[in-house]
């Protein structure tokens, strides 16, 4: 994660402040559920991205240089 827009980076005090605000907003009972769903979402995103990259590699390997380039033409 690129945090270059922060001039001095993000320190431990800022992280603690953010966590306290999140705790106040959602409550202690809701945080584990939110973390679980966030982890599942991230896993699904990575899985989808890997499948997309694999499909892209298959498409480019299968077409080679014999492709006419007319695959994206609208009729």
pLDDT per residue as tens, the chain (75 positions): 555 555 678 899 999 999 899 889 888 888 889 889 999 999 999 999 999 988 888 888 876 544 455 555 554
Report d(CA 54, CA 60) in Å as an integer. 10
Which pLDDT belongs to residue 45?
Answer: 94
Residues 29/37, Cβ–Cβ less than 8 Å: no
Which pLDDT belongs to residue 59?
Answer: 82
Predicted structure pTM score: 0.49
Which pLDDT belongs to residue 21?
Answer: 92
Sign of CA dihedral 34, 35, 38, 40: negative
Phi, psi of 2 (to 5 degrees): -95, 115
């Amino acid at each position: 994660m690129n945090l270059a827009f922060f001039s001095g980076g993000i320190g431990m005090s800022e992280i603690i402040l953010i966590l306290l605000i999140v705790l106040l907003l959602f409550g202690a009972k809701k945080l584990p559920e939110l973390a679980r769903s966030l982890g599942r979402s991230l896993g699904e995103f990575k899985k989808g991205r890997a499948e997309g990259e694999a499909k892209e590699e298959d498409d480019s390997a299968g077409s080679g240089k014999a492709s006419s380039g007319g695959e994206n033409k609208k009729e």
